[in-house]
Each structure stands twice: as C-alpha cells, then as structure tokens.
Amino acid sequence: MQSDPTLFSRHHSWYFDLDSTWDVLGPFPIHAREQHFLSPAFPLNLSKPIEYEESWPSAYADGGTVKWSKTTSTPEGDIEISFPKIRWESLRATEGWAALQHHAILRATLTAHPPAVASRDDIPNVLVELKQASYFMFRPQEYDRSTFTPRWFAGNIYNLVHALPHVVPLPVPPSTTQPTKYDIFVSGDYEIRLFGDPLVNHSEVPVQKLSIHIQPQDENIQIVHQQSQDVVCDFVDGYAFGNVIGIGIQSSNRWWTIKNVSLNRPTNGVNIKLVDNQSFIAPLQTRVIALYLEQSAPFMAKEIDFNVMLQSGSLIENLSLSIPISQRRLSSLRDQPLKGTFLLARTSASAFLAVSPTFDNIAQTPPILALHGAGVDIFGQDFWIESLPVSNSSWMIAVSGRTSWGLDWHGPSTNDVWSALDSLANLVHDRRFNFPASWIFPKDTKVVLMGHSNGGQGTWHIASRFPDRVLAAIPAAGYMKSQMYVSLMLARSRHFIDPALLSILETSLTPDDNDLHITNLVDIPMLVIHGGNDENVPVWHSRELVGTLKSWYPSANVTYLEDIGGSHWYPTILKRPEVQMFLASIFSNQSTTHSDSFVLTVANPRECGPLHGWKVDQLLIPGRLARLHIRKMNQYRFSVEPFNVLTFSISTGPTPYEIFIGDQILAVRRLQTETRIHRVQPGKWQVTDSSIIRRRQPPGRIQSILSTSGPMTIIVSSQLFTDELSVAQRLAHVLHLYHKIDSEIVPENALACGSWPSGNVVFISRPSSLLAEKILAKNLTSVGITDNIIHIGWRQFNKSEHAVLFTHPHPMQEESESFILFIMYNEISGLERATRLFPFRTGVAVPDWVVVDTSMDTFGAGGIQAAGVWDADWKLSEPMSW
C-alpha cells in the first residue's frame, strides 16, 4: 500500500490548517485609503472578546446596524464577500461609486500542528499570500487579550505579479506538543479601482474577491535565491543591453552580508561585481542585489553562471546561480521589444522595453514613452507593447514605473521614466551595438508621452510637471486625480474632523492634482482620447481636463477625440489613424512654441521641472499652491507676478534682459546661464545665487520619502528581534512589493560616528534614543526631546499612546533632496498605529508631520491630534499647523 506523502510531511514537519469558514462583519462606509487611518479591525477592539451576536452601526444597512455573517473559502483559498441585503441601487442613486466603497473585517481560525518531535528552535515562520485585501494579523486564541498589541501586515491589495509571500513570525510561539489555534483577521476593502463597477457583471451588488494561502517557511533554508525577483537584460549580438542585473535574495532568520560575487568559470571579456561593496540583508527581508556586468567581448551563452558569497557571523554561505540570458540579433530587432536594464537610486536594478525604429534610412525623431495602465505587467503580458503605434523613425519605450501599479506614475515611478530614457540614450550611443546613425538620439531629448488609463493619468501628470521635457502628449482614458476618481465625501473621518485639519491633510494630495497643474501645458500639443462608454474611468474626466486647459488658454493646441460607445480598453485605442496623423504632424514640425503669456503652477518644487526655463525653487508658505504669471513684454523684458513664491529661477541664454516684478526692475547679468530671484521682504525681490538656499525646502508630505536617491535606510534601535525591527521588516516588504525600492535595515549602533548613508532615511525610535536626541538637538526643525518627552514647538506629546511622524533634513546632506522620516513612539500600540500611515500607496494624506493616538482607530483622520507642513526653513508654520 502506497503511503500518503501528506501524512508523512505532517508527521515530520510543521503544518498549518486554515479553516475554510470565515466570520464576516460589514459593510461599513469608507473611502479608498481610509483603512490606513482607521484600525484595520474597525469597528472591533481586539483587546476584548468578540461578541458574535452583537450589532454594529452602519449607515448602509436597513435599520442602521449590521451583524456577523459567514462565508466559505474554496480549497484554493479564494473568498468572495458580498452583502446582498444592502440596497446598493438606492445608495448609488444619490452617492454614485462612492457608496460602493466599503470595509469589512473577516476572521477565521489557523491551527499550527507540530511534528511528532519538535523543539522551540524549529518553529517556522508563516508564509502568507493575501491578494486583494489591505491588511491581516494573527492573534492567539488562548492568550491574555488585554496585553496583546496587534501587528498588522500589508496584503498584496493590487494582486501584483511575482509578489513574494509575506514572511510572518507567529505572535506567540505555538506549542511543540499539541495543536495551537490562532485567529486570523483580514481587512477587506472594496475599491472601484480594484474590483470595478458591479454593473459590468450585470449586478447591483459589489463583490470583494480575495484569496489567501498560508504555509510554513522551510526552517532548514537560511538563504534563498528568489528567481522571480531577478532583473536581467537582453543581449544584442552578445552584448548586454544594460550594464546591470539584479538578483533576488531572501534571508530566513539571519543577518547576512553580501561579501563577493564571482563567475563560476572564467569567461573571456566578461566580469561581474557588486554595485554596493557590502550589502546587508536583514532577517525575513528580500533584496534585489545589483551587479555590474562588464564586457570587453561578446558573450553568446544561454546563461551566466556565478557564485554569491554571503556571511552571517562566522557562517559562510555560497549560492551558485545560473541566470538565463535572452540572446538577440541586431538584424531581427525591428518590431520586437528589447529588454534593457539600468541602475536607479544607486542600488536598484530596473528595466524597460524598447522597440527600435522600423527604418534606418530616415531622419531620427524623438522617442515615444508609453505609460501602461494599472495592473499591466509589461514584461509578462504582450498585449501592451503590441497595442502601441508603430513608428518608422522613433524608439518606442515601454517603461515599467517600477511595478505594474507603481505610485500612479508619481514620485519614484516618474523617476523610473526619466532614468529609463537616459539609459536608452546611453545604450544607443554604445558603438558595440552598431546601431544605425538615425537610431541615435541625445540624452536631453524631448519626448512624446502617451499612456492609457492609469498611464493616461500619468501622461497628464508627467507632462504638466516636466513640460520642458515633453514635445507632445497623448493621454487615453486617463482620470483627473484620485479624489475625483471616486469621491472621498463618504469618508468616516469627515464626521469627526476639524475642516482646518482636513485642509492641511489634503495638501498632501495637491502635488498629484493634474487639474491644478494644467496651466503648465500651455504650449504642449495634446491628443486626448476617451471611450464615450468607459465603464472604468468616467469619460467626463478627460472632457473636464480639456475644458480646464481651454479655460486658461482658449487657443490651446489640444484635440479631444471621444469614441462614442467606446469602452475603457480596446486594442486599437492608441493605434487608430488619428494617433498616427498626430505623431506625423509633431515629427514634421518639432519647433517649440513659446506663448507670450503663461502661468507656471507648482505645489511641490521637489517634484516639478521648469516651464520655458522658468522654475519655482521655494514656496513662501509650503503646502499652498504657488504660481508665476509670466508675460513677455518684448524680446528683452518679462513681467512676472509671483503668488506664494519665495524663490524662482530662469535658465537664460547669453542675451541680457530685465524682469519686472511690481514696480521693481531686476537686471540679469550678461552670459549668466541661470538667474535666481529671491523674495527678501514683502514687495522686495533681488537677484541672488544658490547660496541663499541654505537647505532644500521640506518635502511637504511624507510620501516624498519614496523618491530616494539611494537605497532606503531604515534605522532601528537594536539588532535584536524587537518591535522596531518588525516594523522595519514590514516597511522593507511593502517598499519592495509595491515599488521595487531597495532598502537596508541598519541597527542604530551600526552607524559609524559621523557617517550617514546617502538617500532617504526612516528612523524608528523611542524618545530615549541617544542618536535621535543628538540629531534633534541641532534644532533643524521644531521637534525636540526633553527628558525623554517629544515636543513640537511648545506642545508636549507625552501620553503613552502618542506617536509622531515627521520629516527632518538629512544630517549630512542638508542641501540635497534627501531627508529623514522619524517615526517616534512612546508605546508599541502607538508605533503600530503610526506605521499604518507610511504612504506606500497614493492617496494616504500625511503632511510633513502628524501626531496620532488611539482615537485614530475609531475616528480615522478625525482622531489625529496634531499635523502640519513645515515652513521654508523646516520650522513650525503657523498658518499650516493644526
């Protein structure tokens, strides 16, 4: 009789049994990102027993209350949640899509079964794959709940491809002699962007479709090569189309240092080496280790074999890897995408796809950058690259934006776009590829931007933030901004929040508002496309954006093409004749139009480039919108009206001219390539130099932490497995999952004296941290520590539940774009609450600083205790503080 392998594995190793019956409580009104403010367990208090017969208030239900219900998962772990008794048709009749957004809390039982012989040293971590839900956590069933602090782990809410399971230590070790039961709680949140309008499926009832899979981590494996995370370029006639590759390596329970890489066998003309000479991997962390690939001769093999040496204390581990190589021929490149790689933020390997021009005997034209829609994997799905127009004379570049969702083409996704373009510009100049002369373009070239859906929104976004880099734009089916995609008016927070606080929080969203920045599109030719029956992005978004642009500039060069009856997506939406005609007209006349009068709008100078050479460098009151009204008086003179501008600059040619501001006349010196003009007092301006800016303006919002110039450094107080380390591991996980941002976890005592890493820093600590106190003692912001008590200005935040997040200048690079995000807390529950506000998704409205406590769990943003935007000198701003 053949033995059952399942029984054998259960006898000799741990296994976990997840009950297929789930308790469900909901629905509760919520907006798209409100689960980052509310407790993911809302409305439950998990420090108390759950009463399954109790009713809970909900405005969606008849009678105003809801009770627990049940659902069942499939053997594959799929779960569907719906509430058919809710009169959804009635709700959406007045509130539209906003009424469909809702939150539910799910609970099931996980049982950990020990093997026949087990020890405390062999208890494995849990691998959790949770798709299309926001958060999950484990709670032991036999435990003093009053002392239990939930640790919430982020799910893969976007169902990102190639996502690794979240590695989770159980909150309390299970018994080694008998089964141990845990409650698993899941925050299920219905968002239109995730699940769509149920009417598309001929139903009024919105349905959440989640999936969960749980298994033990193999406790015998200390270090793993995660091949799905590798970043590898194609080779053209034996030469790498990019000088960097990335290798995904995951640690189990140890701290590792990457010591060396070497080829397994000598290969003439080929060598590899570490980009970062010493890369550290924390327990439970996955990093994509970037390697330089050096070549002086062609490499024609189908794989490259090398060894990675890692060290953990006295333990040495060698990983022998074989990486597949796609070999291509120059003669067969036309119409077939070529994968290139480049280095982003100093240690991150990123990639793009490029289709070469069809012909090589006609004049070169600027490249076309194509921005994909949400959830599109450009490397694993052919339909996107096949749906782009064919160009005889231009490179077509499909950029990744870091992942299939990225940050909605903002921040690090925008950086990825420009870095991919620069990388291709370098590659086409490489003589080893022997590209035709007409395929070569300069690094500072202007581009044509196009995109669909989220990429259409990204086209509006990037073109209006970097207008001097864009020759023309083709946004298709793009939405205006997140607040208008689905209204935020049904947010629970709005029932409790001071409108003044709400306005300060929403300044965090202003840098992403395409309608407010639309003045910057003054001279960019645009072809705007939208299906008239779009079921995903309402067609009025494109109509309104076009109308807003024409309100500023009635003669704007914008063409609106509405496909009557057209849906959100169809394969020819960017291949239609009108697109080809538009491109032909742009390429036939590449001269740039300069209007005599225009308005430059900026919300965050860090994230905006110049318009016709004019640039806002600093805001007078950060958090508020800045505008420069510029009018050309003649060839040598300009009239400028600044609004909320502290410093602005203009890149000029050698011809002198004068700038009129009110009754002042400012002369520009001859041969000066850049002029900087600074407001010294109300109504008084002067021409100055860059030294007037002692440090960069504060970011204005915590989301800017994602735009780092190097790996994200996460500092914790100890190398031991502490609550801070758990938070650092979770932040590293979401940074990698959602943005492929490289991060390094560093214990505070490992920082060399006076030495700080480049790039942005997340510093997690209590007020008792000596290093934190030393940094804050420099008084670079209004945050200080006195007698282990945090204070902002005159107000102390010394309650045990208080936690504070705030931005701070980089200690060693005050003039750079880099900065520190402090997460300071008094007790663990405050740290957990503050961690939820780390904005790894768009739409999480957190300004430069914010103070939270327990009331945020129930009241959402209405429970925030204080918040604000720093002034231009990183100090407390009275008009922008609450």
Q: Quick one: three-class SS letters along 642-700?
A: EECEEEEEEECCCCCCEEEECCEEEECCCCCCEEEEEEEECCEEEEECHHHCCCCCCCC
Q: Determine whether 793 is exposed, middle or buried from the number of CB atoms within 10 Å of its CB (0-12, 13-18, 19+).
A: middle
Mean pLDDT highest for which of 47-51, 390-394, 739-743? 739-743
Kindly state the tokens that stand for 656. Answer: 């002198």
Confidence bin at 5 (pLDDT 50/70/90)? very low
The sign of the torsion formed by the CA atoms of 857, 862, 866, 869 equals positive
**Residue 626: pLDDT above 80?**
yes
Maximal C-alpha separation, the chain: 99
Among 718, 703, 736, residue whose Cα is nearest residue 805: 703
Confidence class for position 430, pLDDT limits 50, 70, 90: very high
Four-point Cα dihedral 618, 624, 625, 628, nearest 10: -50
Lowest mean pLDDT across 319-323, 391-395, 449-453, 730-734: 391-395
* CB atoms near residue 436 (< 10 Å): 15
C-alpha pair distances (Å), 173 with each of 255, 285, 599, 688: 21, 20, 62, 63
DSSP string across 50-71: --TT--EE-TTSGGGEE-EEEE
Report the run of H or E that residue 28 belongs to, with start and end. strand 21-29
pLDDT > 90: what percent of the chain?
86
Work out the burial of residue 559: count CB atoms within 10 Å of its CB; fewer than 13 is exposed, 13-18 middle, 19 or more buried. middle
Residue for token pair 């590695």 = 167
Flag whether pLDDT at 719 surpasses 80. Answer: no
Residue 755 has pLDDT above 90, yes or no: no
DSSP 791: E
Q: Is the peptide bond before 27 cis (omega within 30 degrees of 0)?
A: yes
Q: Is the confidence at residue 52, as pLDDT, over 80? A: yes
Strands (E), 400-515: 447-452, 470-476
pLDDT of residue 426: 97
Judge whether 304 and 234 are in contact, CB under 8 Å: no
Residue 692 has pLDDT above 70, yes or no: no
Cα(866)–Cα(872) distance, integer angstroms: 19
- Write out pLDDT tens, residues 114-170: 998 888 888 999 999 999 999 999 999 988 888 899 999 999 999 999 999 999 999
Give 1's pLDDT tier (boundaries 50, 70, 90).
very low
Does residue 823 contact residue 835 with C-beta atoms inside 8 Å? Answer: yes
Residue pair 845/23 in contact (Cβ under 8 Å)? The answer is no
pLDDT number for residue 690: 61
Per-residue pLDDT for 16 more than 90?
yes
Residue (of 205, 17, 186) closest to 100 by Cα position: 205
Residue 691: its pLDDT value, please? 57
- Cα 715 off chain centre by: 20
Sign of CA dihedral 559, 562, 563, 564: negative
Q: Is the peptide bond before 43 cis (omega within 30 degrees of 0)?
A: yes
Q: Which two structure tokens, joined as six digits, stand for 564?
A: 């009557």
- Give pLDDT tens digits for 59-115: 999 999 999 999 999 999 999 999 999 999 999 999 999 999 999 999 999 999 999
Count of helix runs (H) and strand runs (E) in the chain: 14, 51
Confidence category of residue 389, pLDDT binned at 50, 70, 90: very high
**Are 288 and 248 in contact, with CB atoms under 8 Å apart?**
yes
Map tokens 């989770």 to a residue.
Answer: 168
How many angstroms separate the CA atoms of 623 and 879, rounded? 10
Measured at the alpha carbon of residue 690, what is the angle toward residues 648 and 615, in degrees to the nearest 5? 25
In angstroms, what CA-CA distances link 164 with 75, 255, 301?
21, 19, 29
Q: Which two tokens stand for residue 500?
A: 């003044």
pLDDT above 80 for 321: yes
Radius of gyration of the chain (CA): 28
Residue 452 φ then ψ, to 5°:
-125, 140
Strand segments, DSSP code E, in 87-179 are 102-113, 126-131, 135-140, 153-154, 166-168
Residue 7 has pLDDT above 50, yes or no: no
pLDDT of 9 > 70? The answer is no
* 432 DSSP β-pair partners: none
Tokens read off for 833:
């609450």
Residue-level pLDDT at 756: 83
- Residue 857 phi, psi (nearest 5): -60, -35
Q: What is the rounded distance in angstroms from the CA atom of residue 91 to the CA atom of residue 98?
A: 9
d(CA 677, CA 670): 16
Check pLDDT > 70 for residue 720.
Answer: no
> What is the spatial distance between Cα 609 and Cα 689, in angstroms, rounded to a whole number?
19
Token pair for 573: 């939406």
Q: What is the pLDDT of residues 533-581, one digit of tens each?
A: 999 999 999 999 999 999 999 999 999 999 999 999 999 999 999 999 9
- Please state the three-class secondary structure of 188-214 as a single string: EEECHHHHCCHHHHCCCCCCEEEEEEE
The identity of residue 86, as a single letter, is I
Mean of pLDDT values over 821-834: 97
- 199 pLDDT more than 50: yes
Q: Please write the tens of the pLDDT for every residue from 477-492.
A: 999 999 999 999 999 9
Say if residues 339 and 352 touch (Cβ distance below 8 Å).
Answer: yes
What pLDDT digit, counting tens, does each position of 581-613 carry?
A: 999 999 998 877 899 999 999 999 999 999 999
Return the number of other C-beta atoms located less than 10 Å from residue 691's C-beta.
8
Q: Which of 347-356, 746-755, 816-825, 846-855 has the lowest mean pLDDT?
A: 746-755
What sign does the dihedral 89-95-96-102 (CA atoms) show?
negative
Q: How many CB atoms lie within 10 A of CB 444?
A: 9
The confidence score (pLDDT) of residue 670 equals: 63
Confidence band, pLDDT 50/70/90 cuts, at residue 673: confident
Backbone angles phi, psi at 251, to 5 degrees: -95, 150
417 near 335, Cβ under 8 Å? Answer: no
Read out DSSP for 498-558? -HHHHHHHHTTTGGG-TTTTGGGGTT--EEEEEETT-SSS-THHHHHHHHHHHHH-TT--E
Element (H, E) at 623: none
